[in-house]
Amino acid sequence: MLGLPEGVTALLFDLDGVLTQTAKVHQAAWKEMFDGFLEEREGEGFEPFSPRDYERYVDGMPRYDGVRKFLQSRGIEHDETLVRELGDRKNDAVQRKIRRDGVEVYEGSRRYLEAARDAGLRRAVVSSSANTEEVLEVTGLAPLVEVRVDGVVAQERGLPGKPQPDTFVEGARLLGAEPAQAAVFEDALAGVQAGRAGNFGAVIGVDRVGQADALREHGADRVVADLDELLDER
């Protein structure tokens, strides 16, 4: 059903880059924050935050974990005060951009959610973003989603973020499904790793940026450019 293996009854969607085009908002916010920090620290000759840095160190990661990984990659000494300050700066930048520019939905993903609802499949969003609830409301996707496990919920429940599978496992549990009965939809390498580590029934990689091979290498059972491709298999 809907391009998924038999026995899958629950669908676990990442938000940024899978359902909405907020991945580019997050990438721009990370760059704005880190470039500002690096220029403050090193002056005009600093090495800017790059798309490769985004993919390697922060994409799909909980915000503070992403800060730590990037600072470590540059050999920058840091404590938790600095990590939280930079993470909060990044979140402020995301919220400004969402309020100013809004959020676009991948229409193929909206159609897939509608088809999943009509087919009686359970649906959750599992995202490391603390802004998930706001984005779902702004985009009108909230009525199509039954369960939300985001950065806020993960912190409240002490769940480690991706690439650990715990948030996906919690999403499946809230939908009344075992991991083997759930499919994970992810565009980030860390998220695909989490899906594979949790032994889910299917891990669907969504390639928005030309990294299909990397998604497969990190554990995707299948890679699509858009969820519309799966609708053709009803």
Which residue among the candidates 16, 59, 150, 187 is catalytic per the annotation? 16
Measured on CA atoms in the order 38, 39, 40, 41, is the torsion positive or negative?
positive
Both tokens of 92, joined, read: 């402020």
Which residue among the candidates 14, 53, 187, 221 is catalytic per the annotation? 14
Provide CB contacts within 8 A for 30, sequence distance 6+.
49, 54, 58, 66, 90
Q: Any idea how long the chain is?
A: 234
Tell me whether residue 16 is one of the annotated catalytic residues.
yes
Tell me whether residue 14 is one of the annotated catalytic residues.
yes
Dihedral, 149, 154, 157, 158 alpha carbons, nearest 10: 150
Residue 200 backbone zone (phi > 0: left; psi -120 to 50: alpha; other: beta) = beta
Which active-site residues does the annotation give?
14, 16
